[in-house]
Amino acid sequence: MDSLILKTGTRLLTALMLVFSIFLLFRGHNEPGGGFIGSLVATTAFCLYAIAFGVTEVRKALVIDPKILSIVGLALSLLAGLMAIVQGDMFLTGVWSPAYVDGSSALPLSSVLVFDVGVYLVVMGAVLTVVFAIEEDKL
Amino acid sequence: MSWLPAWPILIPIVTAIIGFLVGRSPGLQRAVSVAGAGLLLVAGVALMADVWSNGIVATQMGSWPAPFGITLVADHLSAVMVVITGITGLAVVVYGLADIDRERVRFGFHPMLHFLLCGVCGAFLTGDIFNLYVWFEVMLISSFALLVLGGDKEQLDGAVKYVALNLISTVLFLSAIGLLYGLTGTLNMADLHRVIPTVENQGLLTAVAVMFIVAFGIKSAVFPLFFWLPASYHTPPVAIAAVFSGLLTKVGVYALIRTFTLIFTHDTGYTHTILLWIAGLTMVTGVLGAAAQNEMRRILSFHIISQIGYMVMGLALYTPLGLVGSVFYLVHHIIVKANLFLVSGVANRLTGSFELKKIGGLYKSAPFLALLFLIPAFSLAGFPPLSGFWAKLVLIRAGLEIESWWIVATALIVGLLTIYSMTKIWGQVFWEPHPQGFDPSPDKGPLKVSRRDYLLLTAPIAVMALMTVIIGLFAGPFYELAERSAAELLDPTAYVAAVLGPDALGPTVAEGAAR
């Protein structure tokens, strides 16, 4: 589709949506939000971009193939789960940074965040793979 | 916290991820896949050894205590199923080295197979009914990908039927879980066992139980819900069909056994009578369907159905001996059935077809293969001293014990008809000369199979055939294993204690008595 209004609007919206999706990802740590929903917002942004400018442009902007993205995400989530082995806990137990645990740092760094980032990438990669396949099939 | 029950789930995921990452190089992918399958088998054996000496192992994912978190539980049944999954997985991966073409490897045959194994192991090990649903989904998605891999027209046709019917089953399963959760307020299977007797509306509970029968019935392909199986199992490459036929329906049977011994035992007079009818009809329709077929894989597909009937029969009898028979049958059947599919693949490679009328002459040209077919085929039909004989013997004795004459009669007659189908394959594929008059031997025939390929194809078959013989000749330890599994299934006290702690069963039982 070639529409000036859509293209101009998309440029603004895509950036906004991507920022919002990152916001959702981090907010999900303690409040409603998280990797899954944040990722869907980001995916919507990329889909909008694909409608306005075509799939090739999005692929260029993404740099990494969405399939690889989802596999890397899966590996990240798995790694986050395996981190618990270091402190002798069961798979998927949250591991928190020592600085946060003893109260000297306010930044709650944890394996939970790594897990969420992994989910973010898996969902984005999987949905974009499907959307791209359908879009490119039309041509 | 023991990690042992988690490894059989984690190893296939790691293997699949690495497999995808090295996707460009088929050689590397194959190496990763074989290593992963080997490790899975090792993890399974380690788990089995631990359960054998220390009893039921339970562990809480993410350290969230049961019944709130997801529990992984390995009792004897779960552990032995994981070991069998590892054996089948390794056999199919090795076989696949020669059977799956480069194109399919590049499209991700190996990683997808490991995702499937992950789903299967997850289903065997989980102690949470909703988590069981998740593993069913993992299996469904990866099996769908495997079915369409390569994308022949025939494959897509089979896959659509497979997916449509399996989706209905999953939706039904999910609704039933929702209703069960509404009735009991818990999803942990051990906790469900505790809470079920206190549910007021027992009638509704029976309705939910029947929904579970239908949902798992579609998965395990019992009468009258089996139509998707013969419509799809003969379409993918043999390595894929073998792992499907060995493992997937058996997960359904396992789920039936688990839920109808641990959760729904409040009205066995009703639910288990339904199961007994299903068992008998499944045996008969399966074996009759097989008799009408003239294609090797289709015959074997229908035989899966009739054999499922035997496993359900043991559960439906709901006696110690019956469950011993079911467990024994499960183990025996996975090995034998996957093996027969693998043999049919080699026969196809050598003679050029799966159609009985178009092939022949293998007895003379490939005598070793003939022997390798004969062992699992006789075992399937229940000849002594092979594993199938003991499995059938135990089930029939269980039936005689509680004087269920007609199911015993059905089981015996179906056993005879199984021999009919096996001799049909034997006669046409092995004894009769090839209709086109050539000699289908691996090294001289027109469809030459290289020495390396032939070795890779027959080695897993030989090992699995040997296992059938070993289970048959040294049935003692395997029988004891089945006996221990059955004892745990019939009296879930140990299971509940392992998951919820030793005092879990006390108060609720007292409450129930006070009522």
Q: Decide if B3 is inside a domain.
A: no
CA distance B347 to B143: 24
Burial A125-138 (b: 16+ CB within 10 A, else e): bbbbbebbeebeee
For residue A76, the chain B residue with the least C-alpha distance is B17
Hey, are the CB atoms on A78 and B13 less than 8 Å from each other? yes
Quote the minimal CA–CA distance from A104 to chain B in Å.
25
Of B215, B316, B337, the C-alpha closest to B272 is: B316
The whole-number pLDDT of residue B506 equals 58
The whole-number pLDDT of residue B105 equals 84
- pLDDT less than 70: residues of chain B: 1, 445, 505-515
Quote the minimal CA–CA distance from A53 to chain B in Å.
29
With beta carbons under 8 A apart, name residues in chain B contacting A67. Answer: 20
CA distance A72 to A92: 18
Question: DSSP letter at B355?
Answer: B
Q: At what angle do helices B320-351 and B296-317 cross, to 10 degrees?
A: 170
Q: Decide if B454 is inside a domain.
A: yes
Residues in chain A: 139
With beta carbons under 8 A apart, name residues in chain B contacting A82. Answer: 10
Q: Across-strand partners of B74?
A: B57
Does residue B62 belong to the interface with chain A, where contact is any CB pair within 8 Å? Answer: yes
With beta carbons under 8 A apart, name residues in chain A contacting B10. Answer: 78, 82, 91
Hey, are the CB atoms on B17 and A75 less than 8 Å from each other? yes
- The domain total for chain A is 1
- Long-range contacts made by residues B150-159, C-beta under 8 angstroms, separation at least 24? B150/B101, B150/B103, B150/B104, B150/B107, B150/B236, B150/B237, B152/B235, B154/B235, B155/B235, B155/B236, B157/B235, B158/B231, B158/B232, B158/B233, B158/B234, B158/B235, B158/B236, B159/B232, B159/B235
CA distance B136 to B116: 10
Quote the minimal CA–CA distance from B6 to chain A in Å.
8
With beta carbons under 8 A apart, name residues in chain A contacting B66. Answer: none
Hey, are the CB atoms on B63 and A88 less than 8 Å from each other? no
The whole-number pLDDT of residue B1 equals 60
With beta carbons under 8 A apart, name residues in chain B contacting A94. Answer: 62
CA distance B409 to B396: 9
Q: Decide if B137 is inside a domain.
A: no
With beta carbons under 8 A apart, name residues in chain B contacting A93. Answer: 62-63
The string of pLDDT tens digits covering residues A71-82 is 999 999 999 999
- Selecting from B10, B17, B59 the residue whose C-beta is nearest the C-beta of A74 gives B17
Q: Decide if B101 is inside a domain.
A: no
Hey, are the CB atoms on A88 and B1 less than 8 Å from each other? yes
Q: How confident is the model at residue A138 (pLDDT cuts 50, 70, 90)?
A: low
The whole-number pLDDT of residue A115 equals 92
- Selecting from A71, A74, A89 the residue whose C-beta is nearest the C-beta of B1 gives A89
- The domain total for chain B is 1
Number of A/B CB contacts below 8 angstroms equals 37
The string of pLDDT tens digits covering residues B97-150 is 888 888 888 888 899 999 999 999 999 999 999 999 999 999 999 998 888 887
CA distance B390 to B305: 20
The whole-number pLDDT of residue A1 equals 66
Alpha-carbon Rg for chain B, nearest whole angstrom, is: 22
Quote the minimal CA–CA distance from A84 to chain B in Å.
8
Contact B266, B318 (CB under 8 A): no
Phi-psi region of B373 (alpha: psi -120 to 50; beta: other; left: phi over 0): alpha
Q: Decide if B96 is inside a domain.
A: no
A105 lies in which domain range?
A: 4-138
The whole-number pLDDT of residue B202 equals 87
The string of pLDDT tens digits covering residues A82-132 is 988 888 888 888 888 888 888 888 788 888 899 999 999 999 999 999 999
Q: In this prediction, what percent of chain B has a pLDDT beyond 70? A: 97
Contacts of B168 (CB under 8 A, 6+ apart): B218
Hey, are the CB atoms on B62 and A92 less than 8 Å from each other? yes
- Selecting from A67, A75, A90 the residue whose C-beta is nearest the C-beta of B63 gives A90
B266 lies in which domain range?
A: 149-514
- Give yes or no for residue A20 having a pLDDT over 80: yes
Question: DSSP letter at B402?
Answer: T
